[in-house]
């Protein structure tokens, strides 16, 4: 690392700076990239100790957007680390901090963010996309069954009359619809906790995935590649296949998020595959796990109706409403997944949505320095393709179910039980 990093002048921005362990950091806000001197000063440590924190995985270093030779540190992560230091080293305090602030408490070999790049099994997600991998290819690698076992070689499951009747009766649109359909589908799926690691378990994972996708798309389970199922359900042209395939690869997993963690908790106490997957999908309206898609859709409609884009953005910021779909805390230098999705949009036939995205992104960057996140990219792709209203959320959570199943398998294979005890504070 370069310890003699030249300081650059940056716009003055407020960062969340908690003063006591009892205060919580906001879920979103303005965060900056700090150089090594600024990060070390904020933590009250030397640069050598700062570099040791990075090597031990306590802090991430990212390349400077303007000079890849230099390293920068997210002020958000620096503040979290400072909070943990202030919380003391007692076991009880550490446990509470872990639940409150996302302190790493579980080992995983599935996915991570390394130097601003999302990774699956140690390989950049963008490499997976560039190699032409499908969602099924990613699933095979994340699930890691024996090489001779192909989870997708078996036929798609056949769901019973109850599922078919419910599919016809439930109204289209509400986010609760796929949850109700998948819960009903579990009557026809076999995935008990006692299944041994092997062909039967691999087949069960593929059947649950296909049934869940069917519940999102409101069509019977299919053996077709997942991206083709989305395209046919949304009645899009065959030219949409490549963009949908790449999008599903981009969303398949992302670090240790609440969706995967929910599934792991149930898997650790021997819940069935279906129960753990259904519980994870109940996170689909949470802001950090899919709910932001709806907020981005609303923002998009607001901006599309405005005659002055910059004025509309300023009004939102002045009202303190923020800009959903921007400033992902894991990617202070920008979310590579969003960049790739916007590139996919630019490669498609010109349309109003594509043109608006090309105006919004630089305007937001000029006003705030924020970069688009995955949610903005998914909504942009949904609108550019002309897919249905809830397609961005379906694409995100349907694709993410690949990673959820990987977390279920990894937790089962670890043999660890996840549990937490309460500290009574009442009368």
In whole angstroms, how far apart are CA 145 and each of 112, 202, 322? 21, 7, 43
Q: Is 127 helix (H, G, I), strand (E, B) or coil?
A: helix
How many other CB atoms are found less than 10 A from the CB of residue 319?
8
How far apart are alpha carbons 197 and 11 in whole angstroms? 54
**What rounded mean pLDDT belongs to the chain?**
86
pLDDT value for 158: 96
> CA angle 235-240-246, nearest 5°?
125
Highest mean pLDDT among 82-91, 132-141, 286-295, 329-338: 132-141
Q: What percent of the chain has pLDDT over 90?
A: 63
How does pLDDT run across 314-371, given as a tens digit for each residue?
A: 999 999 888 999 988 888 888 999 999 999 999 998 899 989 999 999 999 999 999 9
**What are 28's two structure tokens?**
């979103």
Is 290's pLDDT higher than 80? no
pLDDT value for 105: 67
In whole angstroms, how far apart are CA 283 and each of 260, 396, 397? 10, 12, 9
Q: Do residues 260 and 387 make contact, with C-beta atoms less than 8 angstroms apart? A: no
Q: Stretch 115-143: mean pLDDT, rounded?
A: 96
pLDDT value for 358: 93
Give the residue, 205 or 283, on which the prediction is more confident.
205
Domains, the chain, with CATH or none = 33-105 (1.10.1660.10)
**pLDDT confidence bin for 277, thresholds 50/70/90:** very high
pLDDT value for 90: 54
How does pLDDT run across 394-413, given as a tens digit for each residue?
A: 999 999 999 999 999 999 99
Give the residue, 299 or 15, on which the prediction is more confident.
299
Q: Do residues 18 and 81 make contact, with C-beta atoms less than 8 angstroms apart? A: no
Cβ neighbours for 318, distance < 8 A, ≥ 6 positions apart: none
**What are 184's two structure tokens?**
């009903």
Is 1's pLDDT higher than 50? no
Q: Is 372 helix (H, G, I), strand (E, B) or coil?
A: strand
pLDDT value for 121: 96
DSSP string covering 310-355: HHHHHHHHHTT---TTB--TT-TT--HHHHHHHHHHHHS---HHHH
How far apart are alpha carbons 62 and 71 in whole angstroms? 5
- CA-CA-CA-CA dihedral for 347, 224, 141, 132, to nearest 10: -30
Q: Stretch 244-255: mean pLDDT, rounded?
A: 96
Highest mean pLDDT among 31-45, 64-78, 210-224: 210-224
pLDDT value for 262: 93
Residue closest to 382 by CA, chosen among 244, 254, 201, 217: 244
How does pLDDT run across 73-98, given as a tens digit for each residue?
A: 888 888 888 877 766 555 555 665 55
Is 21's pLDDT higher than 60? no
pLDDT value for 26: 42
Q: Do residues 156 and 203 make contact, with C-beta atoms less than 8 angstroms apart? A: no
pLDDT value for 88: 54
What distance, in Å, lies between the first and last C-alpha atoms of the chain?
53
């Amino acid at each position: 690392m370069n310890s003699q990093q030249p300081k650059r002048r940056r716009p003055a921005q407020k960062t969340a700076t908690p003063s006591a362990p009892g205060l919580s950091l906001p879920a979103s806000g303005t965060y900056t990239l700090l150089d090594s001197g600024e990060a070390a000063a904020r933590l009250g440590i030397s640069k050598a100790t700062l570099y040791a924190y990075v090597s031990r995985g306590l802090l991430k270093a990212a390349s400077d957007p303007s000079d890849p030779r230099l390293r920068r540190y997210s002020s958000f992560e620096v503040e979290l680390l400072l909070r943990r230091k202030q919380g003391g080293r007692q076991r009880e305090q550490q446990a509470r901090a872990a639940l409150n602030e996302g302190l790493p408490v579980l080992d995983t070999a599935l996915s991570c963010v390394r130097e601003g790049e999302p990774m699956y099994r140690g390989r950049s997600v963008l490499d997976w996309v560039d190699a032409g991998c499908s969602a099924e290819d990613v699933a095979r690698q994340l699930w890691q069954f024996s090489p001779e076992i192909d989870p997708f070689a078996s036929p798609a499951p056949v769901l019973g009359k109850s599922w078919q009747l419910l599919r016809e009766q439930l109204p289209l649109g509400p986010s609760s619809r796929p949850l109700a359909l998948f819960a009903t589908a579990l009557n026809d799926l076999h995935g008990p906790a006692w299944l041994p690691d092997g062909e039967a378990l691999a087949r069960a994972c593929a059947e649950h995935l296909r049934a869940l996708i069917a519940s999102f798309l409101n069509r019977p389970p299919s053996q077709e590649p997942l991206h083709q199922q989305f395209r046919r359900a949304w009645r899009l042209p065959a030219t949409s296949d490549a963009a949908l395939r790449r999008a599903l690869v981009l969303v398949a997993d992302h670090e240790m998020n609440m969706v995967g963690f929910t599934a792991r908790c149930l898997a650790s106490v021997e819940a069935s595959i279906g129960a753990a997957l259904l519980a994870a999908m109940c996170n689909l309206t949470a802001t950090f796990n899919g709910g932001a898609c709806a907020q981005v859709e609303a923002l998009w409609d607001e901006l599309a109706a405005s005659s002055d884009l910059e004025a509309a953005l300023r009004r939102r910021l002045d009202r303190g409403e923020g800009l959903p779909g921007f400033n992902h805390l894991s990617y202070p230098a920008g979310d590579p997944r969003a960049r790739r999705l916007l590139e996919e949009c630019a490669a498609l036939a010109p349309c109003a949505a594509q043109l608006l995205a090309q105006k919004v992104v630089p305007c937001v960057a000029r006003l705030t320095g924020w970069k688009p996140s995955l949610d903005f990219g998914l909504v942009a792709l949904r609108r550019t393709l002309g897919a249905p209203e809830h397609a961005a959320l379906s694409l995100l959570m349907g694709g993410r179910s690949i990673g959820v199943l990987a977390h279920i398998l990894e937790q089962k294979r670890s043999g660890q039980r996840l549990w937490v005890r309460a500290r009574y504070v009442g009368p």
